[in-house]
Structure 1
Amino acid sequence: MVCRRCIDVVRTTALDLGLTVENVRMGQATFPKKLTPQERAAFLRGIKQHGFDLLETRQSKTVEAIKRLLLDRASNRGSGLGENLSSYLSRELKYEYGHLSKVFSKSQGVTIERFFTLQRLDRVKELLAYDEQSITEIASELGFSSSAHLSATFKKETGMTPREFRKIAAKSRKMP
């Protein structure tokens, strides 16, 4: 699970089955007691109807934990924004970064750094579309070394500058 819809599906499915969920967050659901095999099977059927599945392997749990941390950090909700990405993940997950990188890349077909860059750029697009912060403020908030670094990364990935994107977003907001 890595999105709000995932969280809502898990919470609703559990409630529909009469199961109590202590906590549902990105990548993880915590139940107050171990589910019986029947409850587990019913829960699995319920989430599969929505195209989801349970994470069973240690590697898939590790990948989801990495994604959760990266999404939180890209959204500026996570800790360690001033900390090196590899150190941050190693510290949070208690694994060597080389192991995390290998597991993630093998599973996702993309490096951790690339995934994080794309997530950060998605957040940049959101903030640009809101048009409430300057590019310098966005760069600082999301841990880019400068507005020039943000602009260069943004242009490399999207083919347009942040200002061009902001203008397009403003036009699309004005359309009925």
Structure 2
Amino acid sequence: MVSLRCKMAVKEELDKLKLKHTSIELGEVNLKKDITGDDREFLRKGLIKKGLELIDDKKSLLIEKTKTIIIELIHYSEENPKINYSDYISEKLDYNYNHLSSLFSEVTGTTIVNYIIINKIERVKELLLYDELTLTEISLLMEYSSVAHLSHQFKKITGLTPTYFKKIKQYKKRIMLEEL
């Protein structure tokens, strides 16, 4: 659960089933009493209708928590942590990073580092489209060592330079406006 909307959707489904809970947090719900098999199935179906998923096994739950921390940090946080990502994730989840990293790779088929890079590039795309910050400002905001490093990583992931990506989007917007 990354957003308030997700938490509200889960709360709504729990309330429908009259399941009392003590907290709804980062991919985890604490219920006051054990859930029956029927209620679990109704909850699962209700969550699926809302585009969410009920995760029962601990490995998947830990992976989802890891993903949520990364997404919150890159897309929704005002400020990046003062420590590196691996220490931050490890501290937040209270797990050894090496354990988290190998579990993440085993379950998802990609590394935590690659997942972070992909999310950073998606955030850079969003910032480029807003057209409020220069590439240098975006580079600093996203904690790249230089504009060249950001540009290299952006091109490696998207196949385009940031400048060309921005130009294509502006061109497409202009075309759409002309068609009105």
* Global fold match (TM > 0.5): yes
Structure 2: how far apart are the matches of 1:15 and 1:140? Answer: 44
Equivalent in the alignment of 1:141: 141
Structure 2: how far apart are the matches of 1:126 and 1:4? Answer: 21
Specify the SS of the correspondent of 2:90: helix
What is the TM-score with the length of structure 1 in the denominator?
0.82
8 A Cα contact 2:20 2:33, kept in partner: no
1:102 is displaced (CA, Å) by 0.7
Instruction: Report percent identity of matched pairs.
Output: 35
Specify the SS of the correspondent of 1:75: helix
Query: Could you say which structure has the larger radius of gyration?
Result: 2
**CA pair 14-103 structure 1, distance change in 2 beyond 3 A:** same
1:66 aligns with 2:66: yes
Greater Cα offset, 154-163 or 18-27: 18-27
Structure 2: how far apart are the matches of 1:4 and 1:121? Answer: 24
Question: Which consecutive unaligned segments of at least 5 residues does structure 1 have?
Answer: none
Equivalent in the alignment of 1:90: 90
**CA pair 24-127 structure 1, distance change in 2 beyond 3 A:** farther
Q: CA RMSD in A?
A: 2.8
- How many residues matched? 175
Structure 1: how far apart are the matches of 2:145 and 2:123? Answer: 16
Specify the SS of the correspondent of 1:55: coil
Equivalent in the alignment of 2:167: 167
Q: Which amino acid aligns with 1:124?
A: V
1:18 is displaced (CA, Å) by 5.3
Q: Which amino acid aligns with 2:33?
A: K
The structure whose RCO (Cα within 8 Å, separation 6+) is larger is 1
1:39 is displaced (CA, Å) by 3.9
What is the TM-score with the length of structure 2 in the denominator?
0.80
Structure 1: how far apart are the matches of 2:4 and 2:157? Answer: 25
1:56 aligns with 2:30: no
1:100 is displaced (CA, Å) by 0.4
